[in-house]
Amino acid sequence: MSALDLEGLLRPEGVFSQEPRLVFFVDEPEFLLDLGVGPAADGLRRGLSTYGLTAMDGRDSLNNVRLRGNSEAELRSAAGRAGADWALVAAASSSDEFDEASRSWRARASLIVDAYEVGRSTPVDQVRSDVTAVDVSSAAARSKALEAAGEEASAAVAAVITRSAQGRSEAALFVMGDCDLPRMKTLLSMLRVTEGVAGAFLGTWRGEEGSMVVRIFLKGIKTDGLAARLLRRDPTLTLLSVEPDAGRIAVEISGGADR
């Protein structure tokens, strides 16, 4: 089961609960970092909390587990291992200039956030915020601007997550007959790339010679539409029943992974 979980087969890829969990990674100017947390990350987390979103800063050294990665793919994988539904990969930048008239520093900050559903290789959307701030200290002005950029971006991120959840329904696929490990993985992979399937993961598996139940999240199609698409994509499946009101499909499969 641990091996299956590491492969992402036990998690609802691209589908989150009513209260989605987020892990974010913000690349910030080093001189403003405190314990691995920068002002943009601080503002982003605080802003997300106002929308009821639980977010963890993956680079916060005070976390029980430090999440690491050198690429977006590695960061997404780290977020998945932490049990997150979403991974936010962001980059912050800032600049400042001295204003002679007011004898203060004016800073500009930008934050670009790529919002990924965990398990997806492409972002659902990209969010950008641009903010200015003024202070008598250059560092303070830049810190204020970055923090404000994080808070401003949180509203757009929350909107992305809300839009992604709309119009989804759940179904269960009951697979009877021999279903060994390679065949199970093949079926899950096929489901996840089927048009109208927002996510699919293993609910129950009775072993190499047993049946399994796959939980499926649909968007834009209904249960009977999914059944038709499955039969077209895999002619080795035999349809046993479709219960649209209950969201259940039963199919029979025979043979192993050599087909």
Per-residue pLDDT of the chain (259 residues; tens, 9 = 90+): 667 766 667 665 555 545 678 999 999 887 666 656 789 999 999 999 888 888 999 888 777 766 888 888 899 888 888 888 899 999 999 999 998 888 999 999 999 999 998 878 899 999 999 999 999 999 999 999 999 999 999 999 999 988 877 667 888 899 988 778 888 888 888 998 898 888 888 888 876 666 888 888 888 888 999 999 999 998 889 999 998 887 899 999 865 444 3
143 lies in the same domain as 192: no
198 lies in the same domain as 161: no
CA distance 24 to 116: 10
pLDDT at 67: 82
Residues 6+ apart with CB under 8 A from 235: none
Q: Which residues pair with 169 in a beta bridge?
A: 218
116 lies in the same domain as 204: no
pLDDT at 127: 95
Residue 118 φ/ψ, nearest 5 degrees: -60, 130
In our burial notation (b when 16+ CB lie closer than 10 A, e otherwise), range 222-237 reads ebeebbebbeeebeeb
120 lies in the same domain as 155: yes
Number of folded domains that form the chain: 2
173 lies in the same domain as 199: yes
Q: Answer yes or no: is 119 within a domain.
A: yes
Residue 50 φ/ψ, nearest 5 degrees: -70, -20
pLDDT at 254: 67
What is the sign of the dihedral through the CA atoms of 225, 231, 237 and 241? positive
Q: Answer yes or no: is 3 within a domain.
A: no
Residues 6+ apart with CB under 8 A from 166: none
pLDDT at 21: 84
- Vertex 224 angle, CA 219 and 229, to 5°: 75
Q: Which of 110, 136, 165 is the last residue of a domain?
A: 165
196, 229 in Cβ contact below 8 A? yes
CA distance 9 to 22: 19
pLDDT at 244: 86
107 lies in the same domain as 207: no
pLDDT at 257: 40
The pTM (predicted TM-score) of the whole model is: 0.62
Neighbour order of strands in the sheet with 21-27: 54-57, 21-27, 86-99, 104-117, 125-135
Q: Answer yes or no: is 2 within a domain.
A: no
Q: Which of 135, 165, 195 is the last residue of a domain?
A: 165
pLDDT at 111: 97
Q: Which of 114, 143, 165 is the last residue of a domain?
A: 165
Write the CATH number for 236: 3.30.70.60
119 lies in the same domain as 108: yes
140 lies in the same domain as 17: yes
184 lies in the same domain as 222: yes
Structural domain containing residue 193: 168-252
Mapped onto helix, strand or coil, the DSSP state of residue 79 is helix
Q: What is the DSSP string of 81-148?
A: HTT-SEEEEEEEEEEEEEETTTTEEEEEEEEEEEEEETT-SS-SEEEEEEEEEEESSHHHHHHHHHHH
Q: Answer yes or no: is 1 within a domain.
A: no
Whole-angstrom Cα Rg for the chain: 23
Q: Answer yes or no: is 5 within a domain.
A: no
CA distance 42 to 154: 11
19 lies in the same domain as 117: yes
118 lies in the same domain as 148: yes
96 lies in the same domain as 195: no
Write the CATH number for 80: 3.40.50
Q: How many CA atoms lie within 13 A of 189 on its CB side?
A: 7
